Amino acid sequence: MNLETIRAVLAWCTVFDIIVLAGWGGFFMFGRDFVYRLHSRFFPMPAEQFNGLHYGGLLILKVCMIVFHLGPYLALRVAG
């Protein structure tokens, strides 16, 4: 596997992560009541805990995206 292939894979992974992050954030921002009602059927919890879990999940996704996909992609672009 050459460097260009690895760069392309990391770039597409970053694009996919951004789409998932934007979709999750948008759905949570604009459809919070719907998502809360749907999730509270299966996992009863207060709204504050629900919000904290989703914000934490968004944070973890964003950090992992930067550390594992965007960072290595940019490093390979600079090095190559």
Q: What is the structure's pLDDT at 38? A: 93
Domain total in the chain: 1
This prediction has a pTM of: 0.89
What residue spans of 1-80 are helical by DSSP H?
3-30, 32-42, 47-65, 71-79
Domain boundaries, position 15: 3-79
Q: What digits encode the pLDDT tens for the residues 8-50?
A: 999 999 999 999 999 999 999 999 999 999 999 999 999 999 9
Q: What digits encode the pLDDT tens for the residues 45-65?
A: 999 999 999 999 999 999 999
Does residue 80 register a pLDDT over 90? no
Which DSSP letter does residue 72 get? Answer: H
Does residue 1 register a pLDDT over 90? no
Task: Provide the residue count of the chain.
Answer: 80
Q: How far apart are CA 77 and CA 54, in angstroms?
A: 33
